[in-house]
A and B are shown apart, each in its own frame.
Chain A
């Protein structure tokens, strides 16, 4: 298949939506499990850790894909400020997707916990054990997650604004279908 210069390459699109679903799940699971004392707490924590590490691996793959396949350019007539916002928020999203699982892993290391991804798979620690390090990283995990959530909300609103109001092909560059008006696919 010839790649369409107006679209993200298919693998980038698949990774975008897969990670979007996984990250949204993680945010909900995370915020839900720390507010629960029921049996949910236990299995959600057990789910949160391996899913978070899977995100870390996929984000690395995604960054390699991005580096090898530059994204389609934004519409030429998009105001400079909006282009800047798109650029900054995309990098912030990448940064947070990478930082959150690393901070999660590091904070459990600092707390002296074994980092179990199941009943027997254990990751090595990546941060020295200590109360101060644990506390700082544990708070950082919360604040970065909240920042990721807020950035995600703005990102989603912007994507819908492109798709529903500007109808400029930005939303469809990440989906499976070209804009209704857009030139036929290949």
Chain B
């Protein structure tokens, strides 16, 4: 039995004691609220990034908040062992690793026409025999428009369609580009880029830099890309009026046989920027061919194996790590937020928008 309360604080001390107790509780709650961002509404959070993606494209329950339109694919990666000199990841040992993937077009509207953007994307999940995974999302362009999450957010804000025209305000877009000269290389590329007729004929770039670690712990900064074997000539020209030609083209090609890409890994020289995806590395950097990606099946994204995968670029096996590229952490955080939204809709979680069947015609 503990001491009896005969020692309880004399009344004139109690006020101070109550203030101390109240103050401790309020201070702790305040620190918690600050860490959670509730006291700093101006802070860029994953929530705000994904809300802005929805503001730009609309909210489509059950779909990814970016790269919403796409198809699932699966196959494997045949490693030739060449990258093993730089990375201890099991996927680079000579041999085969199963792959689940997804092709998509950027934008949050799952009913957008394939010709509406000149960019296509490839996302892959390699599952190593030891259970570790390598997830990557790549785009079919050699540089990203911006280098920081803040600039990405500003770009989304500047390109948000206005209520009046349904299109971005040209003045805001111009002001954004004027304030962001780092978008130069991307804009130069975009001037000549055309929407391809096939997913299979595109190269896909990691854009962000990563760090390989070999078996002795030696580090090497890298970027990678997938280079296709197929050429435009093998394909079928899209039928006039078909807004979904990418999925049908892929189905036709796969019916004839697997599609292949070479995984090319570019090694940075000391001093090459690893923290800025808007800057390409010089062309003469050493590039190694690490093996062949073989995709042999495709499935619709609402029932395929890729539906419930979050292609978070920071899910990496031992031997590959993120770099100091600030986009990586922002992508990881935003993809988790988007993933929670779409899986919550899948679960009919209270307060989430209902999943609707595809409309017959989209304007």
Q: Which residues of A contact B (CB under 8 A)?
A: 5-6, 27-28, 31-42, 45, 72-77, 111-114, 116, 119-120, 122, 124, 129-132, 134-136, 138-139, 149, 153, 156-157, 160-161, 164-170, 173, 179, 181-182
Contacts and interface: CB of A to CB of B under 8 A. Distances in A.
Given A35-B43, A75-B2, A139 B32 contact: no
A1 B46 CA distance: 53
A42 B329 contact: yes
Given A32-B35, A42-B332, A160-B24, A153 B5 contact: no
Given A37-B44, A160-B21, A73 B2 contact: yes
15 contacts: A28-B35, A36-B43, A37-B46, A41-B46, A41-B333, A42-B328, A42-B332, A75-B1, A114-B132, A122-B130, A134-B308, A160-B17, A164-B9, A165-B14, A166-B5
Nearest to B350: A139
A31 B8 contact: no
A164 B17 contact: yes
A156 to B, nearest CB: 7
Main secondary structure of the interface of B (DSSP, over half): helix
Interface of B: 1-5, 7-9, 14, 17-18, 20-21, 24-25, 28-29, 31-32, 35-37, 43-47, 49, 130-133, 149, 307-310, 314-315, 318, 321-322, 324, 326, 328-330, 332-334, 336-337, 339-340, 342-344, 346-347, 349
Given A34-B333, A112-B308, A75 B5 contact: yes
A128 to B, nearest CB: 12
Contacts of A131: 307-308, 342-343, 346-347
A73 B47 contact: no
A28 B46 contact: no
B3 A31 contact: no
A36 B45 contact: yes
Contacts of A116: 132
